[in-house]
Amino acid sequence: MGTVTGYRRKNGKVVAAMRTLISIVNLACLEPPSVPKGRHLEFQTGSGIIANMFTISRQFTFCYGHRLLRHCGKCANLHGHNGTVNIELRNDQLNPQGMVVDFIDVKNSLGKWIEETLDHRLILEERDPLVDLLRGQGEAVLALPVEPTAENLAKLIYEQAEQFGLPVCTVTVWETEKCAAEYRMQKLECRS
Ligand SMILES: [Zn+2]
């Protein structure tokens, strides 16, 4: 410090430069430490919890028919989609195999459910008069308590993924190539 004091006496610019340097050192101390490979790290900052995170995603396709009773346009008519769903899974640590989840397990659980429950189905709101009519004709109808929009399908698939114990964080349903709906948790700390 004697040196700094000496410079202060001689040159105000040097003192200013030293203050700047000290500020930079202090800021560097507040930066998150580097994350060691393969190790979990979590720490609190002023804006919340920060943690290292691994994310994987798996896509499935399914064809379905639906109609939206409250829609003012042509979506109120029976029509079909070649839908794509993207499942995003997240965890802050890897399993002993070095994976968030084995893709095969996602396929055998949620993928199988999508194929058996949603694929080549008519998905209608349960109050739709077509439900009873079509079931009476032997059609495979999935009746939901909500409008069968892409948003509600994303939520349905998300909740099913949770039931399978998958660490799901986002489900995106592409109704067409240009139109998608996403359902996800909002806070990182929701899945501790
Ligand atoms: Zn549609």
How far is the centre of ligand 1, averaged over its atoms, from the C-alpha of 175 (Å)?
A: 7
Alpha-carbon dihedral of residues 153, 154, 155, 158, nearest 10 degrees? 120
Convert the pLDDT of each residue in 162-181 to its tens digit: 999 999 999 999 999 999 99
**Containing H/E element for 172?**
strand 168-174
Q: List the domains of the chain with CATH numbers.
A: 2-50 (no CATH), 52-190 (3.30.479.10)
The active-site residue, picked from 42, 120, 126, 189, is: 120
**Residue 75 annotated as catalytic:** yes
How far is the centre of ligand 1, averaged over its atoms, from the C-alpha of 162 (Å)?
Answer: 25
Measured at the alpha carbon of residue 100, what is the angle toward residues 97 and 188, in degrees to the nearest 5? 150
pLDDT digits (tens, 9 = 90+) for 88-130: 999 999 999 999 999 999 999 999 999 999 999 999 999 999 9
CB 92 within 8 A of CB 157: no
Confidence of residue 10 (pLDDT cuts 50, 70, 90): very low
120 is annotated as an active-site residue: yes
- Ligand 1 geometric centre to CA of 155 (Å): 16
Query: What residues have CB less than 8 Å from 26, skipping those under 6 apart?
Result: none
